Amino acid sequence: MPRSILFLQGPISPFFHRIAAGLRARGHATHRINVCLGDKLFWRGPATDYRGTLEAWPAFIAKFLARHAITDVVLLGEQRPHHRAAIIAARAAGAFVTVTDFGYIRPDWIILEQDGLNRDSHFPRDPATILEMARDLPPVAGRLYQDSFNRQAIWDMAFHIANLAPWPFPHFESFLLHHPAPAYLGTGLQLLLRGRETRRAAATMAALPKGAPFWTFAMQMETDYSIRAYSHYEGMDEPIGEAIESFARAAPRDGHLLVKVHPLDPGLRNWRKRVGRAAAAHGVADRVHYLGAGDLDAMLREGRGCITVNSTVGIRALQLGSPVHALGDALYRIPGLAHGGALDEFWTAPPPDTVLADAFLRAIAAHLHIRGVYYAEPGLTAAVDAAVDKLESGRIGRP
Domain ranges of the chain: 4-148+363-391, 194-360
Residue 395: the pLDDT is 96
Q: What percent of the chain has pLDDT over 90?
A: 94
Exposed/middle/buried for residue 341 (C-beta within 10 Å: 0-12, 13-18, 19+): exposed
Q: What percent of the chain has pLDDT over 70?
A: 100
Domains 4-148+363-391 and 194-360 agree in fold? yes
Q: How confident is the model at residue 321 (pLDDT cuts 50, 70, 90)?
A: very high
What CATH topology corresponds to 194-360?
Answer: Rossmann fold (3.40.50)
CA nearest 317: which of 218, 251, 233, 246? 218
Q: How confident is the model at residue 174 (pLDDT cuts 50, 70, 90)?
A: confident
Cis ω before 81 (30° cut-off from 0)? no
Helix (H) or strand (E) holding 204: helix 194-207
Residue 109 β-bridge partners: 371
Residues 185-232: pLDDT tens digits? 999 999 999 999 999 999 999 999 999 999 999 999 998 888 989 999
**Residue 43 pLDDT > 90, yes or no?**
yes
CA distances from 192 to 33, 251, 296 (A): 38, 35, 19
Interstrand relation of 369-371 and 109-114 (parallel, antiparallel or unpaired): antiparallel
Residue 112: the pLDDT is 98
CATH class held by domain 4-148+363-391: alpha beta
Residues 111-157: pLDDT tens digits? 999 999 999 999 999 999 999 999 999 999 999 999 999 999 999 99
Residues 228-253: pLDDT tens digits? 899 999 999 999 999 999 999 999 99
- Does this model's pTM top 0.75? My answer is yes
Helix (H) or strand (E) holding 288: strand 288-291
Residues 297-314: pLDDT tens digits? 999 999 999 999 999 999
**Residue 327 pLDDT > 90, yes or no?**
yes
Residues 89-116: pLDDT tens digits? 999 999 999 999 999 999 999 999 999 9
Residue 1: the pLDDT is 85
Residue 228: the pLDDT is 87
